[in-house]
Structure 1
Amino acid sequence: MPRIQAASVAEHHARQRRALLDAARALLAETEQAPSMAAIGRRAGLARSSVYQYFASAEDLLAAVVADVFPTWAGQVLERVAAAPTPGTRIWAYVVANVDLFASSEQAVARALTRVVEPRVLQGPMEEFHAQLQGPLRQALTEFGEPEPETMAELIDSLIVRASQDVGATARTQARKTADVTLARLRRLLGPYLGLGPQD
């Protein structure tokens, strides 16, 4: 029996499960294909048979990745929104954080998941992700004085998605440069509306 490198068996299991999720996520980012249980085990430093102690199948493991990544992505955006000092800068922080997600390796994970996971598995987490982000964005728009916060929030999301299409289609080595160009375009559009200064 492998030696437990944790304060308790429960903590050991939590660490191993975390390692498997991280391994699957890394392989999805690298290959944009569904990784095998053996490949995930190798990346996590576990035998293939050990992977099945935590997940009954590859589909089960990928569903767990879906359940794990969407809250993580939402948390990354919301943390940056919350750190901004004014309603206008919170709205801009929302834009920047979303474009940065498009430019990161997480976009490859998102593309892979849409290919290898059943739509019914993705639907709920995606809807929750959208709802988690829309609430703070609409709140910031309301505090900013926007008379139609829900409509404007949807428009901002549409702008982000449309403007970021080039980022998602760019080779990973060029993604950051493309994201900067995208942000410059969005700032020209939204900067006057938000009253952004040179340091915002």
Structure 2
Amino acid sequence: MPRIQAPSVAEHHARQRRALLDAARALLAESAQAPSMAAVGRRAGLARTSVYQYFTSAEELLAAVVADVFPDWAGQVVARVAAAPTPATRVWAYVEANVDLFTSSEQAVARALTQVVEPRMLRGPMEEFHARLQVPLRQALADFGEPEPETIAELVDSLIVQASRAAGPADCTEAAGARNVTLARLRRLLGPYLGLNPMAED
């Protein structure tokens, strides 16, 4: 039996499961294909047979990835919004956090999941993800004095998606290029509304 390098068996299992989920996410981002159990085990440093102790099939593993990534992404955005000191900066923190997700390897994970997971499996988590994010954004807009926070929140989301998609290879000569281009464009659009300096560095 492998040596348990954790305070308890339960924590050991939690760490191993976490390693498998992280490995699956990394492989999805790299290949945009459903990873095999053997590949996930190799990436996590576990034998293929050990993977089956945590997930009975590749489908169950992918379902676990779906259940893991959306709350993780939402938590990242919500935490950054909560840390901002004013309503205007909370709105901008929401924009920055979402752009960071769109321009990171996590977006490759999201694209891969839409290709390898059945739509019905994604629908619920995606709806919950969107609904959870709308709460702090709408509250920040309401605190900012926006009379139509629900409508403006939807428009802000649309701007983020469109601006992120519009930052193509021609705009980006370095790894951070897509993020910088996208945020610069969004700041020019939203900066005057939020009272932020349109030319400030992010």
TM-score category (smaller protein): over 0.9
Which letter does structure 2 place at the counterpart of 1:51?
Answer: V
Structure 1 residue 47, shift from structure 2 partner:
1.0
The structure with higher relative contact order (CA 8 Å, sep 6+) is 1
1:146 aligned partner: 146
- DSSP-derived class of the 1:157 partner: helix
Measure the CA separation in 2 of the matches of 1:58 and 1:123: 19
Contact 1:103 1:175 in 2 (8 A): no
1:68 aligned partner: 68
1:83 aligned partner: 83
Question: Cα distance 1:114–1:175, how it changes in 2: closer, same or farther (>3 A)?
Answer: farther
Question: Cα distance 1:28–1:186, how it changes in 2: closer, same or farther (>3 A)?
Answer: same
Measure the CA separation in 2 of the matches of 1:182 and 1:98: 11
State the TM-score, normalizing by the size of structure 1: 0.94
Measure the CA separation in 2 of the matches of 1:94 and 1:108: 20
2:164 aligned partner: 164
Structure 1 residue 29, shift from structure 2 partner:
1.2
Q: For 1:86-109, what per-residue CA distance to the aligned partner results, in whole angstroms no more than 9, with x for missing partners?
A: 101110111111111111110111
Structure 1 residue 178, shift from structure 2 partner:
2.1
The alignment yields a C-alpha RMSD, in angstroms, of 1.8
Contact 1:166 1:178 in 2 (8 A): no
Q: For 1:93-143, what per-residue CA distance to the aligned partner results, in whole angstroms no more than 9, with x for missing partners?
A: 111111111111101111111100111111111111101110000000000
- DSSP-derived class of the 1:164 partner: helix
Q: For 1:56-84, what per-residue CA distance to the aligned partner results, in whole angstroms no more than 9, with x for missing partners?
A: 10010011011111111111111111111
1:6 aligned partner: 6
Give the % identical residues. Answer: 80
State the TM-score, normalizing by the size of structure 2: 0.93
Structure 1 residue 196, shift from structure 2 partner:
0.8
Bigger mean CA deviation after superposition, 17-26 or 1-10: 1-10
- DSSP-derived class of the 1:196 partner: coil
Q: Which runs of 5+ in 2 are unaligned?
A: none
Measure the CA separation in 1 of the matches of 2:173 and 2:13: 36
Structure 1 residue 175, shift from structure 2 partner:
5.0
